[in-house]
Structure 1
């Protein structure tokens, strides 16, 4: 019976070789009389790109195992599916694929159809929510994601009386190897009511696939193409699967790009507008995450960077590291543009894999190994392509020494007159080596803090507490502290009067301007 069912679906292959892109003016999900086709829209299967004719029709050979999609034009929107995802894609799988634990792509002709576009009004500024590594390993973690990330955003939206963004982007590791969690994760994200794009990560693979080609079958069934473009008036987005699966090898994957992806890029970039921001969204960073070990294939990076060089406004977005950092690429990594190429390695929405001590609401602390609290990023893009970035700390009430911008660590008490060898540390989450950070005591003069690359003492203290505890403090321990690229230090004075003294720190964020946090320490007299 299965074979007969497949035959009934695939008697004619030619009816899948073309289609129509039309304007769904009344937004009812079907083409009605008088609704015109839309010319000049590009349609792709992740390799070839074709363009609709004057009547909105296109021709594109149907190839099983590919996802067919319309490249959303900037002046249009797309309908939303019943599951809350944007409806711009469909899979073609007319013959059964390999049997996979999580199902892969079932026999379908979903890509053999027309694509609808909706009329839309566009604003001057684009707002995007960016999630790095949501990565639940169980339904318990999905509930953390719901309560720690989604619910606060819904509350913020309700207070604002409008959606917080017009686009959302998850940068891979949508789940942590258990692909059966895709529907419940998507259901939570879809509650935000925002068109949401998904990048595949190394924990989104079908590990029982025979090769890299089939390793994203289940991901594609749920989220669509692994390589595609999406256009807004202010920015063009290219989403790329950059996880090369290497079954039976060590490591089992490496960062890189496939030859068919370069075919797609060559065609798309040839006609891409250069008067707006070009965003490249991937999971594995383009820089090598471990010095001396190639985690992204250098030849692929150099080839991609050469293709991007003609574009003056490019932003790379990556995740994967469960840290947060800004990397400015230059000749040493294969970038030869006029200005350094900015890669924002976005912190994890799950933080340190939903680990650590739980708070009063039963949600783990899950601060990352570099000292960045879990949360999400927000990106704003202006009409001219200029962009700004911001990190938003997940659901936390007011805490001494903590803000969305930074976390402070200082000793609670020092001996008055002691050698001033102990200091305050400021972890500025969106900082880099060029960030200006200053401190002052009791409202005095501002003084510079020194940029240091070492573990955040806050995380070291958590590590020590976990070691010293005779019982488990959480389901999973907090990660070991790693050197943070956005940490500053200043020695605290001990020649002040006995009592409490306020420490203020300010950092000059390149996008959000002056950011502040404060805490206190106390001086006491003591006898030898």
Structure 2
């Protein structure tokens, strides 16, 4: 293979690609120029210089632009050529409001699929004008994180827009520099992509999408054709993006297995490993490395021998990430919220545990539950977490903090957004054995979180972390059970054990009357967070 002198080709991806069958041999090249689009007109005008060192990829190989901004990358039919955003510049927006940084190469189009796939695209020229970065490099980076909007109908998209999107705007978080949706953008009906994208793009935030298992073309004959409609709307299913304080890798980790049961499994393809090997070879170590995908990298099914993410792929990925000092994994899929610290038991052998934030769903429990006065379902998830979105704030140097923001519960004041829900009995008998407790569902709680409580301004005492269903949601389940008619379109989910629930015993040896219970959680992102409730002691005789 010959590479012209102005261009540098990172060969790791190409060498790996040589192992592919002969029918997948390189066909041709896509070439073009990357330049500084000073006037933002999407055309290279006289005096607009080329930009050197910008990385472009076909999903396997990575090339860099030469001193004049020119590049050439090998392609096969079915490839999507894309640029990796450099930390020094910004991408322009396309007509759909998404960043414009890719070009499909489908000279014969894609197979006939229900939702259209990719139309014929035979262009072998792809030029890209970059804009100046809009934020100073020494400021914090704010990223919005959505998982599983999972809209099934236009009605669901209306919920999404009035609930989650409106909450982001009301909280002032639409000033973020980047947004990520971690799969299940819709719930199998891919014709809804334009409508839900209009809602997301209305925030004016550059937005990237990872595909989920409900974003597949289920009539595709194989995994390598199962995301063609997704790619038409959202671009490459595997990509990278760079900011001064963080590098992002977004991966398709849904391996489609038509005709098998289950019909998919978590894992990665050989071309993705080729891309990762090429890209990670020179990613700076002085910034945060974020790897975002849909299916969790940990196994979610406790059944013996049942892998929900292929262990061999996890070990290969972790080996590539091992020497990076700051790594964060982001996933969705489960419609509950979990914080997992990977160690040797799950194949991680880095110097410190590897943090995976398995983010709760934007749709909560599939837009279920009783509707409020605005006609929006409660949508609490099965672990008691309210639906909403997360934020990642990265400081220069890669230090970072995560937070969860329930939709519409904080009004227009983000500081008032609850960080936990409390549940306690309303009344207990004075002198009864203290067998009842106050429960704190701490949305961002981890196994090592410090959660304490006190009664009537007494001494703070530690609460005990328990893995059991949130009694607050159990009570809602009972209300649904006892209702003579449906309370909503779909009832709230059956409560499952939560990984972020704490319990403290309520004393019954206090005076008759009302007593105040206060809980505090020491949140790395927001500092000390408090919530309070009350219970009453009454006298009773046998």
TM-score (norm 1): 0.94
Q: Which moved more, 1:90-99 or 1:250-259?
A: 90-99
C-alpha separation in 1, matches of 2:460 and 2:379? 33
Change (3 A) 1:111 1:346: farther
Query: Are 2:253 and 1:239 equivalent residues in the alignment?
Result: no
Q: Say whether residues 1:132 and 2:147 are aligned partners.
A: yes
1:110: Cα distance to partner? 6.2
CA contact (8 A) 1:67 1:111 kept: no
**Residue 173, structure 1, aligned to residue 184, structure 2:** yes
Name the SS of the counterpart of 1:518 in structure 2. strand
**Other structure's SS at 1:343 match:** strand
Mapping 1:331-342, distance limit 5 Å: 331-342=344-355
Aligned counterpart in structure 2 of residue 211 of structure 1, from 222, 225, 240: 222
Which of residues 319, 336, 339 in structure 2 aligns to 1:306? 319
Alignment gaps of 5+ in structure 2:
1-26
Q: Secondary structure at the match of 2:361?
A: coil
Residues 408-460 of structure 1 show CA distances to partners (whole Å, capped at 9, x for unaligned) of: 00011111221111110001110111111111111111111111111111111
Deviation at 1:108, TM superposition (A): 1.9
Q: Describe the SS at the equivalent of 2:500.
A: strand
Partner of 2:8: none
2:131 pairs with 1:118: yes
Indicate the residue corresponding to 1:7 in structure 2.
Answer: none
- Pick one of 131, 149, 152 that aligns with 2:164: 149
Q: Deviations over 1:187-226 (max 9, x none)?
A: 0000100000000000000000000000000000000000
Query: Which of 533, 536, 540 pairs up with 1:519?
Result: 533
Q: 1:282 aligns with which of 293, 298, 304?
A: 293
What residue ranges of structure 1 are gaps of 5+ in the alignment? 1-12
**Cα distance in 2 for residues equivalent to 1:85 and 1:151:** 19
Instruction: Indicate the SS of the match to 2:448.
Output: coil
Say if 2:431 is the partner of 1:417. Answer: yes
Kept in 2, the 8 Å contact 1:326–1:344? The answer is: yes
Equivalent residue number for residue 200 of structure 1: 211
- Once residues 514 and 109 of structure 1 are traced to their aligned partners in structure 2, the CA distance between those partners, rounded to angstroms, is 56
Separation in structure 2 between the aligned mates of residue 203 and residue 232 of structure 1, nearest angstrom: 29
Q: How many residues align?
A: 508
SS in 2 for 1:454: coil
Show CA shifts across 1:293-322 (max 9, x none).
210000000001001111111000001011
Q: 1:9 is matched with which residue?
A: none
C-alpha displacement of 1:109? 4.0
Distance 1:369 1:270 in 2: 41
1:353 matched to which residue of 2?
366
Work out which of the residue numbers 420, 443, 468 in structure 1 matches 2:482.
468
Q: Is the 8 A contact 2:116 2:229 kept in 1?
A: yes
Note the C-alpha offset of 1:495. 1.6
Q: State the Cα deviation string for residues 315-373 of structure 1 (Å, max 9, x = none).
A: 00001011111111111111101100110101111111100111111111111111110
SS at match of 1:144: helix
Instruction: Deviation per CA, 1:462-517: give whole Å up to 9, x if none.
Output: 11111111211111121111111111101111122222111100011233221111
- Residue in 1 that maps onto 2:51: 38
Task: Determine whether 1:164 maps to 2:178.
Answer: no
Deviations 1:225-252 (A, max 9, x none): 0001000001000000000000000000
Instruction: Confirm or deny: 8 A CA contact 1:420 1:494 kept in the other structure.
Output: yes
Alignment match of 2:448 (pick from 426, 434, 441): 434
Cα separation, 1, equivalents of 2:254 and 2:77:
21
Aligned-partner Cα distance in 2 for 1:81–1:214: 24
Summarize deviations over 1:84-135 as a string: whole Å, max 9, x none. Answer: 0001112111102210000001112467320111112433210000001111
Q: Distance in 2 between matches of 1:223 and 1:52?
A: 24
Q: Is the 8 A contact 1:354 1:364 kept in 2?
A: yes
Alignment partner of 1:81 out of 91, 94, 101: 94
The question of 1:296 aligning with 2:305 is answered no
Deviation at 1:155?
2.8
C-alpha distance in 1, partners of 2:171/2:347? 41
Distance in 1 between residues matched to 2:488 and 2:270, nearest whole Å: 45
**Equivalent residue, structure 2, for 1:8:** none
TM-score, length of structure 2 as denominator length? 0.92
In 2, are the aligned partners of 1:453 and 1:483 still within 8 Å (CA)? yes
Say which of 375, 382, 406 aligns to 2:420.
Answer: 406
Q: Is the 8 A contact 1:318 1:344 kept in 2?
A: yes
CA offset at residue 397 of structure 1? 5.3
Q: 1:99 and 2:112 equivalent?
A: yes
- The answer as to 2:467 corresponding to 1:456 is no
Distance 1:488 1:222, change over 3 A: same
CA distance in 2, matches of 1:480, 1:332: 30
Instruction: Say which of 187, 193, 196 aligns to 1:182.
Output: 193
2:22 match = none
RMSD across aligned positions (CA): 1.4
| Cα distance, 1:376 vs structure 2 | 0.5
Structure 2 contact 30–126 (Cα < 8 Å) conserved? no
